[in-house]
């Protein structure tokens, strides 16, 4: 269980990094808004994954 949870954490964090990079080099306002919304969801996902990972270790 711990291994899959850790994998989820890693996946969520890498996704977040990509989205942050996309926000930085996006030109139009529409693109940026969409990327920011996705980043917010990704942050939430990463937080949830980290929490699950911590729980699985106990």
Q: What is the pLDDT along the chain (58 residues), one digit of tens a residue?
A: 567 777 877 887 888 788 778 777 767 778 778 877 887 888 888 888 888 888 888 7
> What is the reported pLDDT for 2?
64
Domain residue limits at 31: 2-57
> What is the reported pLDDT for 46?
81
6 Cβ contact partners less than 8 Å away, ≥ 6 residues apart:
53
How far is residue 27's CA from residue 43's CA, in Å, rounded to a whole number?
A: 22
> What is the reported pLDDT for 1?
54
State how many domains the chain has: 1
How far is residue 50's CA from residue 31's CA, in Å, rounded to a whole number?
A: 28
Tokens of 38: 């996705």
DSSP 57: H
How many helices and strands (H and E) does the chain possess?
Answer: 2, 0
Is this prediction's pTM over 0.85?
A: no
């Amino acid at each position: 269980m711990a291994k899959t949870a850790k994998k989820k954490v890693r996946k969520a964090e890498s996704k977040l990094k990509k989205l942050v990079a996309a926000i930085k080099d996006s030109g139009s306002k529409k693109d940026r808004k969409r990327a920011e919304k996705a980043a917010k969801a990704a942050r939430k996902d990463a937080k949830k994954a980290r929490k699950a990972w911590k729980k699985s270790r106990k």
